[in-house]
Amino acid sequence: MKQYEMFELEFKGTEPEGSHAEVDLQAEFFVNGNTTSVKGFYAGNGTYKVRFYPAETGTYTYKISGVVNASGTEVCEAPAGHGIVKADGTHFTYADGTPYYPFGTTVYALAHQDDALVEETLASLEKAPFNKVRHCIFPKDYDYNHNDPEYYPFEKKEDGSWDVHHPCFAYWERFEKIIYRMGEMGIETDLILFHPYDRWGFRDMCMEDNLVYLDYLLRRLSAVPYIWWSIANEYDVVFSRKMEEWYDIEQFIVKNDPYSHLLSNHNCIVFYDFARPDITHCCVQTIAMHMTDRWMEQFKKPVVFDECCYEGDIQHEWGNISGKEMTNRFWKACAKGAYATHGETFYSDDEILWWARGGKLKGKSTERIAYLKDIIYSLPSALEQWQEPSSNEESDAALGIDLEQGKEIFQKIFSSNPPVDAANLEWKSAVYNGHAGEDVYLKYYAQQCVAITSINLPEEYTYKIEMIDTWNMTRETLVERASGKTKLKMPGKEGMAVIATRI
Amino acid sequence: MKQYEMFELEFKGTEPEGSHAEVDLQAEFFVNGNTTSVKGFYAGNGTYKVRFYPAETGTYTYKISGVVNASGTEVCEAPAGHGIVKADGTHFTYADGTPYYPFGTTVYALAHQDDALVEETLASLEKAPFNKVRHCIFPKDYDYNHNDPEYYPFEKKEDGSWDVHHPCFAYWERFEKIIYRMGEMGIETDLILFHPYDRWGFRDMCMEDNLVYLDYLLRRLSAVPYIWWSIANEYDVVFSRKMEEWYDIEQFIVKNDPYSHLLSNHNCIVFYDFARPDITHCCVQTIAMHMTDRWMEQFKKPVVFDECCYEGDIQHEWGNISGKEMTNRFWKACAKGAYATHGETFYSDDEILWWARGGKLKGKSTERIAYLKDIIYSLPSALEQWQEPSSNEESDAALGIDLEQGKEIFQKIFSSNPPVDAANLEWKSAVYNGHAGEDVYLKYYAQQCVAITSINLPEEYTYKIEMIDTWNMTRETLVERASGKTKLKMPGKEGMAVIATRI
């Protein structure tokens, strides 16, 4: 047993007579005065397993009861990894306190492709910067994504409906292996438990079946450190599901996951209620990166733009942004201390599009995301949004007001603006600035082509100011030593950033 | 006298004893049973003038009364121009019915520069596509725009305050000449009557003085055909002015302009109330071109994006968009049957920036706007927004619904979305499609890089489908003859449009 690594006990027994999902198998793990209760599962072929995630080192004793009765002792050694990722304020850290900054990608039906394609996808991920992959338990049926998988999560009843009490063990074993392989690469699985794009009947299962399915999944996968629960993809267009049922599903997961993995729910149109106490982070589908401010203030949780369109060229507006625009969206999110998720939808005659099925990465944003990731990981701490001290004295003076008056007056005008007009105005006026304490200040100019600009740094410290070209991935010193308000000359093009690092 | 051309009568008299603005001089023009009453003005140096805009041909008689008493007859000949531009549904036409599609630019303090710079600006306009210029009566004081003009609209009182009863005739003569010069080039003056960026005291004049000023201006300039009234630039940040006073100003203009020139009011933050019956068009500062639908439905008036940021590279977010983005905004507006206004803010050491002072055009959007203007003017009629018949059957089927169900269900979900989230969502999902009856269908893809797409044309007619590269200004045939839903292959890059022209 190693701290932060899944520990597994295996027992031989007789095949369960009724449900293969809801088997009578409990375990308790004791260490340093703490007890963790977990449920075991039936793995097929007369094999029962108990999986456990040890959060601390020490000498564990365990007691198994139910269809198997056993007990034992295990010494939990020094960590093999960093442990489960948890939310920490508006950011994430591994269990051991190491920062984790999500730079995800999306391969919805990753595990429902043939072995050759899965291998190709994993090989692509090996070389890519992505440290999180959003993918589904259930197969997906949508444009460019119609293939039948080799295995399904359950066996079928005689009437052709799914028998959630009889998991398809081959399915789960194959699925786990893919998760493990990615875990070894440092990639978190953002596991999508339900989704609307279906022709097999998984979407419309009754709630009773849903909970049996989740029970089995949680027994089997909760001890995997590098896993997050994404209740659904586009929960709000699963028309057979009521809102209360999503809450029931959420609470069932909370009760049956002994380790409190990250938990959120992804929208198509209407955001899930991120204020719910067990929801760990805001998983949003939107391109409104400037809303980060609002959401962080409202929810005090990390904001992950888990779908902000895909780099590609298909007919759908969510699947045809340029590599430049994808890079731009990542920078917008990250500069404000939020995070974003990538995906690719380049049309090809074989209909293998990364976002759905994996394969090869073809876009231009991936290497720029890698470049950004290196920058974010090199910072002394996670970025928080930065309200740069105003430097608009001249323009305010032209209006016949001073800076203080100006704030108050503008506040009043802004608050009189109808909500939709106010929302639209923010698309023009949004700024994407972050800071790591007083050590680093970052301004990302997005679409603004500044030739002249300034940065208003603390007077007390000295900073080196560099200019970053986010597209060409170059970094150039603008000012060797600067303090306070500093004027800067820039090349007047899109996608530029300025970073000031304390000397 | 020529139809649609300003007619001027000049009389010698004695200098007015009191106000030089509110002189007692009226005229009535009679033709074809119609009477038009106008007021004359004092032009300095013992000269009184009466100006008149003849809307129809015929033999006019006129009667002058007040400080001058005179009468006469004038034959009004066939038109010299097309007349005053009027709103016509959500578009504009000249008085003679010729379509006018505004492709404007902005030179706020055009007339407050020295002669050499004004000449340079006019020479630039001569070669440019712009057929409307937004500029101010009052000088402007703002970043890159601090020069004192040679003349001001009024003389000063002994206490240093402005004497609205004593217009500075040199100012008005010079100002008019600039308007006339542009008029001869086919350029409408979108005349800004008030604005907030001031250090001379024009902004904060009392209402009594404002109305004297407007009275003089309207006596002097109403008969100029190529003039629009823009009540203010950024009316809502003139902090000394109450909303009711703007309405009073608006109504004073309506009462004292015998020809009902186009009339609107331009916002900084909060839109003016375009539902007001005398407001002829929506003059908006915003970059939310997709709102065109809403506003046209709400106001049934033309929508002009009279400020949608400027192509340039200065520090302000409203003054540093790329030429590509400016081109994009023009196409977004025009594809939906709206219009946009250009401006340039390229930093230069001499601080002569086009948007404020004129000079040379430096940007990359101007020639693309010219290209777009040629396309729009070549259409058989003005574009109206096009709701392309849906072609999303496949994607809806994956959700387990048909097209009709889908519409209803999505309608319900969309209407449950909070207003700000709904507004933000539209930035992603907006489409920019227009049509000219059943003759032309235009789809502008904006940021969408489609490699595969389709157009859903009427089955009854045959169309030639061309692809337009809005940046490279090329036009290439995709399909020689097409009807109904037609699949298209495109190069998968930004800024592309498709135009289908009925054969």
**B174 has a pLDDT exceeding 70:** yes
Longest dimension (CA), chain A: 86
What order of strands is seen across the sheet that includes strand B85-88?
Answer: B85-88, B91-94, B99-100
- List pLDDT tens digits, range A252-279: 999 999 999 999 999 999 999 999 999 9
Q: In whole angstroms, what is the distance from residue B163 CA to residue B285 CA? A: 32
User: Mutate which of A239, A298, A414, A454 to disrupt the B interface (most B C-beta within 10 Å)?
Assistant: A239
Candidates B289, B294, B224; CA nearest to B262 is B224
Asked if the Cβ–Cβ distance from A313 to B286 is below 8 Å, we say no
User: What structural domains and CATH numbers belong to chain A?
Assistant: 7-76 (2.60.40.10), 85-378 (3.20.20.80), 386-423+430-502 (2.60.40)
Residues A179-208 have a mean pLDDT of: 97
pLDDT-based confidence at residue A416 (cuts at 50, 70, 90): very high
- List pLDDT tens digits, range A205-221: 999 999 999 999 999 99
Which residues from B are below 8 Å from A313, CB to CB? Answer: 449-452, 492
Task: Tell me B142's DSSP state.
Answer: B
Candidates B357, B145, B138; CA nearest to A395 is B145
Helix (H, G, I), strand (E, B) or coil at B251: helix
Angstroms from B325 CA to nearest CA on chain A: 9
Candidates B254, B104, B265; CA nearest to B189 is B104
- Torsion of the alpha carbons at B228, B234, B239 and B241, rounded to the nearest 10: 20
Name the residue facing B424 among A237, A286, A320 (closest C-beta).
A286
Give me the sign of the Cα torsion angle B350, B351, B353, B359: negative
CB contact residues (below 8 A), chain B span 294-323, against chain A: 309, 312-318, 320-322
pLDDT-based confidence at residue B295 (cuts at 50, 70, 90): very high
Which ipTM was obtained for this model?
0.95
- Token pair in block for residue A66: 């139910």
Residue A114 — left, alpha, or beta (φ > 0 → left; ψ -120 to 50 → alpha)?
beta
Asked if the Cβ–Cβ distance from B239 to A429 is below 8 Å, we say no
A370-409 core/surface letters (b: 16 or more CB in 10 A; e: else): ebbbebbeebeebbebbeeeeeeeeebbbbbbeeeebeee
Containing H/E element for A266? none
CB contact residues (below 8 A), chain A span 117-156, against chain B: 141-143
Asked if the Cβ–Cβ distance from B449 to A320 is below 8 Å, we say yes
Give me the sign of the Cα torsion angle A141, A145, A148, A153: negative
Asked if the Cβ–Cβ distance from A420 to B420 is below 8 Å, we say yes
Which residues from A are below 8 Å from B325, CB to CB? Answer: 447, 494
Which residues from A are below 8 Å from B295, CB to CB? Answer: none
User: Mutate which of B241, B420, B490, B498 to disrupt the A interface (most A C-beta within 10 Å)?
Assistant: B420
Angstroms from B222 CA to nearest CA on chain A: 29
Q: In whole angstroms, what is the distance from residue B434 CA to residue B389 CA? A: 13
Average predicted confidence (pLDDT) for chain A: 96
Angstroms from B273 CA to nearest CA on chain A: 12
A425 touches B at CB < 8 Å: yes
- Tally A–B CB contacts below 8 A: 183
User: Mutate which of B320, B321, B388, B410 to disrupt the A interface (most A C-beta within 10 Å)?
Assistant: B320
**B161 has a pLDDT exceeding 70:** yes
Q: Which residues contact B166 (CB under 8 A, 6 or more apart)?
A: B19, B20, B21, B154, B155
Q: Which residue type occupies B184?
A: E
CB contact residues (below 8 A), chain B span 14-33, against chain A: none
B237 touches A at CB < 8 Å: yes
Residues B39-57 have a mean pLDDT of: 97
Candidates B220, B166, B160; CA nearest to B193 is B220
**A485 has a pLDDT exceeding 80:** yes
Task: Tell me B14's DSSP state.
Answer: P
Angstroms from B226 CA to nearest CA on chain A: 30
pTM for the model stands at: 0.96
**B412 has a pLDDT exceeding 80:** yes
- Residue B159 burial (CB count, 10 A): 6
Candidates A51, A38, A6, A238; CA nearest to A136 is A238
pLDDT at B398: 76
Which residues from B are below 8 Å from A236, CB to CB? Answer: 413
Q: Which residues contact B76 (CB under 8 A, 6 or more apart)?
A: B1, B2, B3, B7, B31, B54, B56, B57, B58, B59, B60
Q: What is each CA distance from A502 to A453, A497, B114, B411, in whole angstroms?
A: 19, 17, 47, 52
**A410: nearest CA partner in chain B:** B237
Longest dimension (CA), chain B: 86
pLDDT at B15: 96
Which residues from A are below 8 Å from B398, CB to CB? Answer: 141-143, 196-199
Candidates B233, B362, B339; CA nearest to B292 is B339
Angstroms from A75 CA to nearest CA on chain B: 50
- Residue A143 burial (CB count, 10 A): 19
A453 touches B at CB < 8 Å: yes
- Torsion of the alpha carbons at A218, A222, A226 and A227, rounded to the nearest 10: 20
pLDDT-based confidence at residue A313 (cuts at 50, 70, 90): very high
Asked if the Cβ–Cβ distance from B450 to A313 is below 8 Å, we say yes
pLDDT at B392: 62
**A138 has a pLDDT exceeding 80:** yes
What order of strands is seen across the sheet that includes strand A47-52?
Answer: A7-12, A47-52, A41-44
Which residues from A are below 8 Å from B346, CB to CB? Answer: 451, 492
CB contact residues (below 8 A), chain B span 248-277, against chain A: 268-271
DSSP string, B299-335: H-S-EEEEES--EE-SSSGGG-B-HHHHHHHHHHHHH
Residues B306-335 have a mean pLDDT of: 98
- List pLDDT tens digits, range B80-133: 789 999 999 999 999 999 999 999 999 999 999 999 999 999 999 999 999 999
pLDDT-based confidence at residue A393 (cuts at 50, 70, 90): low
Asked if the Cβ–Cβ distance from B322 to A493 is below 8 Å, we say yes
User: Three-class SS string for A365-394?
Assistant: HHHHHHHHHHHHHHCCCCCEECCCCCCCHH
**A423: nearest CA partner in chain B:** B420
**B394 has a pLDDT exceeding 70:** no
pLDDT at A401: 81
Strand partners, A77: A2
pLDDT at A130: 98
Asked if the Cβ–Cβ distance from A452 to B315 is below 8 Å, we say yes
pLDDT at A392: 63
A424 touches B at CB < 8 Å: yes
Residue B45 — left, alpha, or beta (φ > 0 → left; ψ -120 to 50 → alpha)?
left
Which residues from B are below 8 Å from A320, CB to CB? Answer: 448-451, 492
Q: In whole angstroms, what is the distance from residue B119 CA to residue B131 CA? A: 17
pLDDT at A373: 98
Q: What is each CA distance from A215 to A69, A165, B69, in whole angstroms?
A: 21, 10, 100
Residues B374-386 have a mean pLDDT of: 98
Strand partners, A454: A487
Angstroms from A43 CA to nearest CA on chain B: 32
